A and B are shown apart, each in its own frame.
Chain A
Amino acid sequence: MQSALSLSFSQASLPLANRTLCSSNAAPSTPRNLRFCGLRREAFCFSPSKQLTSCRFHIQSRRIEVSAAASSSAGNGAPSKSFDYDLIIIGAGVGGHGAALHAVEKGLKTAIIEGDVVGGTCVNRGCVPSKALLAVSGRMRELQNEHHMKAFGLQVSAAGYDRQGVADHASNLATKIRNNLTNSMKALGVDILTGFGAVLGPQKVKYGDNIITGKDIIIATGSVPFVPKGIEVDGKTVITSDHALKLESVPDWIAIVGSGYIGLEFSDVYTALGSEVTFIEALDQLMPGFDPEISKLAQRVLINTRKIDYHTGVFASKITPAKDGKPVLIELIDAKTKEPKDTLEVDAALIATGRAPFTNGLGLENINVTTQRGFIPVDERMRVIDGNGKLVPHLYCIGDANGKLMLAHAASAQGISVVEQVTGRDHVLNHLSIPAACFTHPEISMVGLTEPQAREKAEKEGFKVSIAKTSFKANTKALAENEGEGLAKMIYRPDNGEILGVHIFGLHAADLIHEASNAIALGTRIQDIKLAVHAHPTLSEVVDELFKAAKVDSPASVTAQSVKVTV
C-alpha cells in the first residue's frame, strides 16, 4: 500500500525525531509520534516511569522511531532474492534487539533467533531486575537512616519489608520489560525464531531443525555468570547473580566474591535488607577498574560505613555450600603466593567474579573460528576474525560474546554500528564514549579513561593532562536532598579542551554522565560545552561546574556558537 511513502518519510524524519526525543527527555506525547503509533500505544506503556536502566533508555528512544516505521505493514523490509533474510541475529538480548530494530528501520528483512528468553541477561537476570531490587534498597536505606529522616523533619516508624514482595517487584519488572521487547519486535515484523541458533557455514544458520540463510549474520549470544573452579554453586547458599536476583532468601551474612559492579550493587541491596557482607577481592584493592580516587571515596561511603568487611588480595579457592548443619565454608588463599590464608564461615556466598561468554555450540568450528577464553575475536567493526586472522565475510559478533565492553548498551550500540555498516555506511563505534554505571546508593558512573589510563596515554603521546573536580556538597539540589556526599571528576587535555574521561560518584550519577558521554561521542570540546546552560537548581549543575572549572587554553569555537544561535 503506502509502504514506499511512509518508509521514505520515516527515514527522512528519523534523525529529527530522534533528536527531539533526546532533548525533550523522551516524552512520548509528541503529537508526531501519536499520529504514527495509532493503536500501538502499548509500546510506550512503561515510558512514564523515569527510573530507567541505561539499557532501557536505549530501547525506548529506538522504539519510537520504530513505531513510526511500523506503519508500513511490511515494515520488515523485502527479502532479498537469494537469501531467506537480509540479517539473522543469533540471540535476542539487548544487543540483538537493538540491532534488529535498527535493521528494520534500515529496511532489512530481519530474523532473530532466541534459545532462551527474549531480553537475555540484561532484562531477565541482570540490569533490569537488579534495578528493581536497588530501587527497594535505596528506599529502605533512606527510611532506616534516622539521622537522614530527622534532618528532613520526617518521622518514620520502623521500616520493614516483605521479602517476597520485593522479589515479586523484580520479577514483575523483568516480565514487563521482556514483553515490551517482544512486542516491539513483533510489531515491526521481526521474525522471532525459537531455538538454539548455530552457524552452519557462511551465511547459513541452523535453529532447531530448520536451516535458514541470511546475507549477514550477527552473533549476539551474550554471557553467563563466571564461576571459578573450586566453587560449588548449589543455588541456595552458594549462588550467582542469576539466583540472587530472585531474592529467595536474605541471609544474615553473605560473602560476595568480587567487588566489581555486580558485587557492589548486591552489597547495596543486601545491606539495606539487613544482611552483613564480606567482600572477597583477588586484587589488592576493592573496586578495581574504577578511577582510584572515585573508588576510594566510594569505599568510604559504600563500604566503610556499612556492615561490610573485606579481604583483598585473596582468591576463594574452595567454597562449599551449607549442608549437614554446617555453614558455607570459604577457603581463602593468597592471590600471589597461593598459600592458604583463612577460612570463612558465612551463611551464603554470592559469586560475582564476572561473566563468561556464552559461545559454546555455536558451530564456530564450521567457519574456522577459534574463541579466545570463550570470546569471539572481532575487529573494531565487530567483524569476526577466523583462526588464520582473516575476516569471516558477513559474520559479526556483538555484545558480551566478543568481550570488548560487557555492558548491555554497548552491545546495542555495537549492533547498530554493524547494521550501519551492512547498509552501506561505514561506522566504527568509539568505545571510549560508552558510559558505564553502578547503581549503588549513591551511584557511580564513568565514561572514557581513568586518571592513570589518561596519564599513561598522555606520556606516550606527549600531551598534558589536567583534572577538574567538583563536589556534590556545592550543589543546591543535592543539598536539598541531604545527599551532599559525592564527587565529579573530569580528566581533560588543557591544550585543546578534549574530554578524556569523566567519573561521577554521587546522587543520580548514572543519569548525569550522559552529558559527558555525548560530548565525547560528538567530539564537543570543553570550551564550547561550558557555555551551555543548565537549569537551576539541578544536579546537572555538578557537571556544568566541572566543565566551568576546567582551564582550557583554546578559545571557544565561534562556529559552534553561531550554530547554537541559529537554532
Chain B
Amino acid sequence: MAVSSSSFLSTTSLTNSKSNISFASSVSPSLRSVVFRSTIPATSHRRSMTVRSKIREIFMPALSSTMTEGKIVSWIKTEGEKLAKGESVVVVESDKADMDVETFYDGYLAAIVVGEGETAPVGAAIGLLAETEAEIEEAKTKAASKSSSSVVEAVVPSPPPVTSSPAPAIAQPAPVTAVADGPRKTVATPYAKKLAKQHKVDIGSVAGTGPFGRITASDVETAAGIAPSKSSVAPPPPPPTPVAAKAATTTTNLPPLLPDSSIVPFTAMQSAVSKNMIESLSVPTFRVGYPVNTDALDALYEKVKPKGVTMTALLAKAAGMALAQHPVVNASCKDGKSFSYNANINIAVAVAINGGLITPVLQDADKLDLYLLSQKWKELVGKARSKQLQPHEYNSGTFTLSNLGMFGVDRFDAILPPGQGAIMAVGASKPTVVADKDGFFSVKNTMLVNVTADHRIVYGADLAAFLQTFAKIIENPDSLTL
C-alpha cells in the first residue's frame, strides 16, 4: 500500500503550472504550421506584395483544447535579438496555464506585434521572425502595416481581429467605453461582459433591461439568441407577449379534453408564451379603459394610407409620443425592489402568425417619423413570418400594443408581459352616439382602449393621465405626421 501510493504520488507530482512546450518536438506538424508560417505563401489578399525574404510570423499557439485566445505574459526576447532554434521566445498564458513558446527556426525577433499583457486569438500573428539581420527593418514595416490593417482575418481558426480586443474585454483594466459621452453610457455587469465576450456579442448593441438600464447577463443571452441559462428549454422570445397569447387561444383552439381529442405538445413558441403567462401572475396589475374619438385619425389614415402608412404605425407612433410625456408608463420593474426608466421607447406590437404570436418591436417609436415607422413595421412583419427576427427585434420592447379591432372586437383586456410596465389593448373603432357638453347628440367613431399596467410602479392617475394624452394625440393627429 505504502509503496504503491508513494510511487503513484511521485510519478504524478511533476505537474506544474508552468511547463515548456517545444513546438519542434512535442507538437504535431500540423500545429507547427500554425505557429510559424512563412509569409511567402501568405494569405491571398497579401499576394500583391511579392515577398522574397524569409519573414515568418509567430502565431498564437493553441495550448489546450479549450483555448481560444491567449495572453502574452512576457516576451523573453526583445526586438532585434537573435534567436536560436529551441530557445524560448515568449510566455503565453492560456485559460489553463502559462507556457513558454519556443522557436524552431534560427533568426531574429524582428517585431513584436502583440505586446505584453495583450491578448490575441489562437492563430493570430503575435510577432515576426526575420531570418537575417537585414530583414529586420522590412519585417518592422510589415508589422506596422499589420497592426493598422488587421491582416489576420484570413487565418483559419480565429474570427475576431487580432490587435484590438473584440468586445470590452473584462481582462482589460482600462475602460473601453469612453468616459465623457454624455449622460448615457453603456453599463454592463461583470457577468454580462463575460458572456458577451464568450458569445462574441457586441455589448454596445445590446439593450439593457436591468436596474438603471444596465445590461445584464440575460440581456446578453437574449441578444446572443440563447436561452437564459436557467431554463433549459424554450429558446424563443422570453418576453413575447401575453396579449397575443389570448389571441392565440381564441384563434388556434387548443383541443378540449374529450374522448377523441389528441394531445399536442407545446411548440417552443407555445412553451415560451406559457412560461411568460405564468410569470405574469406574479405582477399585480390593474386596468384603465378610455374611449377615444377617431374621426380625425380615420381621416388622416385615409390620406396617408396610399403612402404606405399602416394603422399599426399610427397607433404605435401615438403611443410612443404619449409615453414620451409619461415615462413612468414606459418604465419596468424587474426585481420588485427598484424600477428603471427605459432610455428608449420601444413599442412591441403583438402579431398573430401561424401557430403562435410574436411581438416585433418598433424601436424608438417616438422618434422615428411615421413613414419610416411604417416601413420598419413592414420589414419586421416580413421577418416575423419567415421566422428571421433577431432577438433584439422581438425582446427589446418597453411597452406593448395589441390591436384586435380588425376582428370587430370592441374591447378586450390584455395580460402584462413580464418586464414591461404597461400594455395597451385596442378595440375596433365604431360609430357611436355621443353627447357633447351642450347636450347635442352626434355620431362619432369611437374606439375603446384598455391599458393594463404594473401597479407596483404605475398608479391609476399615471395611467389616466397617459390615456388622456394618448386620446388627445389621436383626436388631433396632425402631430403624428410631423
Q: Residues of A at under 8 Å CB distance from B?
A: 252-253, 276-278, 293, 296-297, 300, 304, 307-314, 325-327, 332, 340-345, 347, 469-471, 473-476, 487, 536-537, 541, 545, 548-549
Contact = CB atoms under 8 A, between A and B. Distances in A.
Given A253-B190, A296-B98, A309 B170 contact: yes
Given A345-B212, A487-B17, A545-B13, A276 B173 contact: no
B138 to A, nearest CB: 35
B211 A548 contact: no
Contacts, number: 85
Given A307-B194, A327-B211, A545-B9, A341 B17 contact: no
A536 B190 contact: no
Contacts of B2: 536
Given A311-B173, A312-B173, A343-B185, 4 more contacts: A304-B95, A307-B191, A311-B175, A341-B175
B9 A474 contact: yes
Nearest to A286: B173
Interface of B: 1-2, 5, 8-10, 12-13, 15-18, 93, 95-96, 98, 170-171, 173-175, 177, 179, 185, 187, 189-191, 193-194, 210-212, 214, 217, 335, 338
B12 to A, nearest CB: 4
Contacts of A309: 170, 190, 193-194
Given A470-B13, A536-B5, A548-B10, A341 B179 contact: yes
B208 to A, nearest CB: 11
A308 to B, nearest CB: 6
Contact of A341 (B18, B174, B190): B174
B189 A276 contact: yes
B221 to A, nearest CB: 13
B175 to A, nearest CB: 4
26 contacts: A252-B210, A252-B335, A276-B189, A276-B191, A277-B190, A293-B18, A304-B171, A307-B194, A309-B170, A309-B194, A310-B170, A314-B173, A325-B338, A326-B212, A341-B174, A342-B175, A343-B179, A343-B185, A469-B16, A471-B13, A471-B16, A471-B17, A473-B12, A474-B15, A476-B9, A541-B9
A314 B187 CA distance: 18
A314 B2 CA distance: 53
Given A313-B173, A473-B12, A253 B189 contact: yes
B9 A345 contact: no
Contacts of A469: 16-17
Given A471-B17, A474-B9, A345 B187 contact: yes
Contacts of B214: 253, 345
Nearest to A310: B173
Contacts of A548: 10
The DSSP consensus for interface residues of chain B is: loop
Nearest to B175: A342
Contacts of B191: 276, 307
Contacts of A341: 174-175, 179
Nearest to B178: A342
Nearest to A545: B13
Contact of B212 (A293, A327, A471, A474): A327
A312 to B, nearest CB: 4
A293 B17 contact: yes
B16 to A, nearest CB: 5
B2 to A, nearest CB: 7
Given A276-B189, A307-B194, A476-B5, A252 B211 contact: yes
Contacts of B193: 309
A549 B13 contact: yes
Contacts of A343: 179, 185
Contacts of B185: 343
A307 B211 CA distance: 17
B263 to A, nearest CB: 27
A193 to B, nearest CB: 46
A138 to B, nearest CB: 20
A300 to B, nearest CB: 8
A345 B190 CA distance: 12
Given A341-B174, A545-B9, A278 B190 contact: yes
B227 to A, nearest CB: 15
A332 B177 CA distance: 13
A310 to B, nearest CB: 7
Nearest to B230: A158
Nearest to A281: B173
A519 to B, nearest CB: 19
